[in-house]
Chain A
Amino acid sequence: MTPIEITRNPIIKATLRNRWPQFVIRVIALAGFVLAIVAGFVGTPVGNHNFGIVFVWIVWWALLMLILVPLAGRSWCAVCPIPMPGEWLQNGALLKPRGKGFGLNRKWPKRFRNIWMQNIAFTLLALFSAVVLTQPSVTGVVLLLFLIIALVTSLIFERRAFCRYLCPVGGFIGLYSQVAPVEVRVKDPAVCAVHSEKSCYTGSQDGYGCPWLVYPGTLTKNINCGLCMECLRTCTQDNVALNLRSFGADLKQSSGHKLDEAFKAFIMLGAALTYSAVMLGPWGELKSAAYSIGTAEWLVYAVTLLGLIYVILPGAFLIAVGVGRTLARVLNPPQGSRESLKKSFAAFATALIPLGLMAWIAFSLSFVFASLSYVWPVLSDPLGAGWNLFGTAGVAWQPYLMSIVPFLQAGVLIGGLGWACVVARRIAAEQQTGRVVTWEALPVMGFCFVVTAGLLGLLIG
């Protein structure tokens, strides 16, 4: 599908270039974020009656994983309130550039210009997730820490370094945003090549240089583009566009496969498997182990989770890739594989992006629809203080659509597997020719099938 430039529409373009709509949404989100922190500290300790727990881990999560990421990529990052206070200080302005702001404006260290820090941050959250997701005070602490770390990072380093290199949520949003049917891209790279000012990166009086440290002229993937629209505002050549495109267009890229991004895919897949077992499975001991931080049972849980996401899944995948390469070499001796094992491993891990996203959608469907009715009482009584602001405080818990959800989950997981197989096939075709393409891709498809069968067993078994 040829991308459709939706910013060709003057109303859409003017709306996106205007700072006010984005600002208003971000301020509302910041108010909600602050309320979630306050509710965490002073609200009821009962998680499913606390605004922080219900609106962050049910409403926001549902919005993020079921709508925003699959359909609009990093659109959440465009309105995320977490970096706002730091950005305001860094820019010395709430809206348009007004001169010098505060902060040291240092460059992010070269060795950390990858998503390993985000991988580690997400892993840490995953280890403590049973408590973070259920204890309002812990959610409050985590959200406050996000805010403080983002603020400090903005005062030390240039632009949105926190979002690009540290945010544990931004890491997986970026990975899965490659599937989304929207992109910001330049219309004609040749125009950028001869444009010496590069105002999209350096900034101008109309806007800031790319806060995500990306030069739009060479942007080919969504993973690091925060959809903030600054380049749309600063480009003096009218050469930046917001496009609608086919789903998964970034997965067709034949280069730029990185190990840190591959491991992000394993972390997310392993976490989806683990959460499906711990939170949606019937095993009480597993829930107690995940919740009892510091105990021997929790240590076993933590080691198992770490082993799954950093050793077992990548190890099994490496074996699958290796078997595929061996089969290709045996069947096509003169050629073999064109890439090293490491590069093949990172490239084939692209197949785990649709698989992982669909796994998270399937997981989220179950717990979101089972818990969504907690929203109504919390709307009326966000702190659990006995208020009834909208007359909904007494609405009883009632799971929604639970007769349909297992069918949706099955469809989503099977679709994810089919999509992963298509991606694996395409990657194999980049490395092989002729019938050996089948054999190189088949073990990776087998890996994806086993993971899908496991998820089906956990979610609808």
Chain B
Amino acid sequence: MVIGLLAVAIVFVPNPIALAASGDRHFRIEASSYQYTPEAIQVSPGDHVTIDLVATDVVHGLYIDGYDLSVTADPGQTATLSFIADRSGSFRLRCSVTCGAMHPFMIGKLNVGSNDLLWRAIGLSALAVVVGVWVIRK
């Protein structure tokens, strides 16, 4: 019973950390040989995000998991993607244009607010160990 309540609390209790006020955020991301620079960007929920994607070697793309948005940049050119960061969490950025051997693994990160899924999952993992101990004692 207690374990169940704890699990429910870990999953559903709102994150108490105060969120920064939303606003306009502008990033320049360079894409080259299987890497985005910077490799991760951090915004707040509700931010109006603008990403300037610059391909420095060959054609690269940028697809955002969870948002299902993408943009493509030709070599030396800048392409712009704008959106409202209305979903919280950590989302992978993936190159959407075949750019070389390691293309399927060209990945970056968009962090919107705190990554509640990660922290709740770690909390549940700790609870799994506690359950293990509890089962032993029983």
Question: Which residues of A are in contact with B by a Cβ distance under 8 Å?
Answer: 46-49, 130-131, 134-135, 278-285, 287-288, 291, 367, 370-371, 374, 397, 399, 402-403, 406-407, 410, 413-414, 417-418, 421-422, 424-425, 428-429, 435, 437-438, 441-442, 445-446, 448-449, 452-453, 456-457, 460-461
Contact present for A135 and B101 (CB under 8 Å) = yes
Residues on A with beta carbons closer than 8 Å to the beta carbon of B102: 130, 134, 287-288, 291
B31 to chain A, nearest CB (A): 10
Tell whether B131 is near chain A: CB-to-CB under 8 Å.
yes
18 residue pairs of the A-B complex, CB under 8 angstroms, read A46-B98, A48-B104, A49-B98, A284-B33, A284-B37, A284-B39, A285-B35, A291-B34, A291-B101, A399-B65, A402-B92, A417-B125, A417-B128, A417-B129, A445-B133, A449-B126, A449-B129, A453-B122
Contact of A287 among B63, B105, B124 (CB under 8 A): B105
Contact present for A456 and B132 (CB under 8 Å) = no
Contact present for A414 and B136 (CB under 8 Å) = no
The answer to whether residues A428 and B129 also contact, given A130-B102, A280-B107 and a CB cut-off of 8 A, is no
Dominant SS among interface residues on chain A: helix
Residues on A with beta carbons closer than 8 Å to the beta carbon of B109: 282
Contact of A441 among B115, B126, B132 (CB under 8 A): B132
Question: Which residues of B are in contact with A by a Cβ distance under 8 Å?
Answer: 32-37, 39-40, 63, 65-66, 89-90, 92-94, 96, 98, 101-109, 115, 117-118, 120-122, 124-126, 128-129, 131-133, 135-137
Q: How far is the CA of A461 from the CA of B89 in the complex (A)?
A: 9
Q: How far is the CA of A421 from the CA of B118 in the complex (A)?
A: 20
Beyond contacts A287-B35, A456-B121, A460-B118: 6 other A-B pairs, Cβ-Cβ < 8 A, are A48-B98, A135-B101, A284-B33, A284-B39, A435-B137, A448-B129
B129 to chain A, nearest CB (A): 5
Contact present for A407 and B92 (CB under 8 Å) = no
Contact present for A280 and B105 (CB under 8 Å) = yes
Contact present for B125 and A413 (CB under 8 Å) = yes
Which residue in chain A gives the minimum CB-CB distance to B121?
Answer: A410
The answer to whether residues A282 and B135 also contact, given A130-B102, A456-B125 and a CB cut-off of 8 A, is no
Contact present for B131 and A421 (CB under 8 Å) = yes
Contact present for A421 and B117 (CB under 8 Å) = no
Contact present for A371 and B104 (CB under 8 Å) = yes
The answer to whether residues A278 and B66 also contact, given A418-B128, A461-B118 and a CB cut-off of 8 A, is no
Residues on A with beta carbons closer than 8 Å to the beta carbon of B121: 410, 413-414, 456, 460
Which residue in chain B gives the minimum CB-CB distance to A54?
Answer: B104
Residues on A with beta carbons closer than 8 Å to the beta carbon of B108: 282
Contact present for B125 and A452 (CB under 8 Å) = yes
B116 to chain A, nearest CB (A): 11
Residues on B with beta carbons closer than 8 Å to the beta carbon of A445: 129, 132-133
Contact present for B128 and A287 (CB under 8 Å) = no
